[in-house]
Chain A
Amino acid sequence: MTTFASTNSVKPTKPWKVTKRQLIPNFSLLIAAAIATYLVVALTPMKGKLAYVLLFFIFGTGFQAALSWSKRGKSAAVDTLAASIMMTGGMLVFLPVVSLLYTTVVKGFKGLRPQIFTHTMESTSYSDPLTSGGLLHAIIGTLFLIAIATVISLPLSILTALYLTEIKGKASGFIQFLVQAMSGVPSVVAGIFIYAALLLTTNLRGSTIIGALPLAILMIPTVTRTAQEVLLLVPNELREAGLALGATQWKTVATIVVPAARNGLITAVILGVARIAGETAPLLFTLGTSDKINWNIFSGGQNALPYYVWSGLRDGTEGGLQRAWTGILVLLMLVLTLFVSARIFGSRKVK
Chain B
Amino acid sequence: MTFTANPPKAIPEKRQITTKPRVSDKIFRGVLTVMSMSSLLILTLIGLFLSLRGFQAFQTQGIGFITKVDWTAGVDGSPDTFGLGAMIIGTLIISATALFVGVPLSVLTALFLTFYAPERLKRALVTLVDLMASFPSILFGLWGFIVLMPMAEYWAQLIHKYLGWIPIFGMPSPAYTRSPFIAGLVLAIMIIPIVTSVSREIFNQTPLDRIQAAYALGATRWAMIKAVVLPFGASGVVGGAMLGLGRALGETVAVYSVLNIVFKVNFQVLYGFGGNIASMIVGKWGEASLTESKALLAAGFVLFVMTLVVNLLANFIVRRTVKTGK
Contact = CB atoms under 8 A, between A and B. Distances in A.
Do these two chains interact?
A: yes
Interface of A: 48, 50, 75-76, 78-79, 81-83, 85-90, 92-94, 96-97, 99-100, 103-104, 107, 155-156, 159-160, 162-164, 166-167, 169, 171, 174-175, 177-190, 192-193, 195-197, 200, 217, 220-221, 224, 248-251, 253, 274-275, 277-281, 284-285, 306, 309-310, 313, 321, 324-325, 328, 331-332, 335-336, 338-339, 343
A207 B264 CA distance: 35
Nearest to A274: B134
Given A189-B303, A331-B136, 12 more contacts: A89-B105, A90-B113, A162-B32, A169-B29, A189-B50, A192-B50, A196-B49, A281-B253, A321-B146, A324-B142, A332-B136, A336-B131
A252 to B, nearest CB: 10
Contacts of B196: 93
B181 interface: no
Chain B interface mostly: helix
B43 interface: yes
B119 to A, nearest CB: 15
A183 B311 contact: yes
Contacts of A164: 36
Interface stretch (B17-25, B61-69, B206-214): B17-25
Given A87-B116, A284-B282, A181 B155 contact: no
Contact of B36 (A160, A217, A324, A325): A160
Contact of B139 (A163, A221, A275, A332): A332
A6 to B, nearest CB: 33
Given A281-B278, A335-B136, A93 B129 contact: yes
Contacts, number: 261
Given A50-B155, A250-B25, A184 B311 contact: yes
Contacts of B134: 274-275, 335, 338-339
Contacts of A321: 146
Contacts of A284: 282, 285
A281 B304 CA distance: 15
27 contacts: A75-B220, A75-B223, A83-B221, A83-B222, A89-B108, A89-B112, A90-B117, A97-B132, A100-B132, A100-B135, A156-B35, A163-B32, A167-B32, A169-B29, A171-B33, A179-B39, A186-B250, A187-B250, A192-B297, A197-B49, A200-B293, A249-B25, A274-B134, A280-B136, A281-B278, A335-B134, A335-B135
A100 B111 CA distance: 24
A188 B254 CA distance: 12
A313 B300 contact: no
B27 interface: yes
Contacts of A163: 32-33, 35-36
Contact of B125 (A89, A90, A324): A90
A179 B315 CA distance: 11
A182 B42 contact: yes
B252 A187 contact: yes
A275 B135 CA distance: 9
Nearest to A161: B36
A123 to B, nearest CB: 24
Contacts of B281: 188, 192
B175 interface: no
B149 to A, nearest CB: 12
B189 interface: yes
A48 B33 CA distance: 63
A67 to B, nearest CB: 15
Contact of B145 (A182, A192, A313, A331): A313
B104 interface: yes
Interface in B232-277: 243, 246, 249-253, 257
B137 interface: yes
Given A184-B307, A188-B303, A189-B46, A86 B116 contact: yes
Contact of A90 (B46, B108, B304): B108
Given A89-B109, A192-B300, A284-B285, A50 B220 contact: no
A87 B303 CA distance: 37
A182 B43 contact: yes
A97 B12 CA distance: 70
Central interface residue in B21, B22, B135, by most chain A CB within 10 Å:
B135
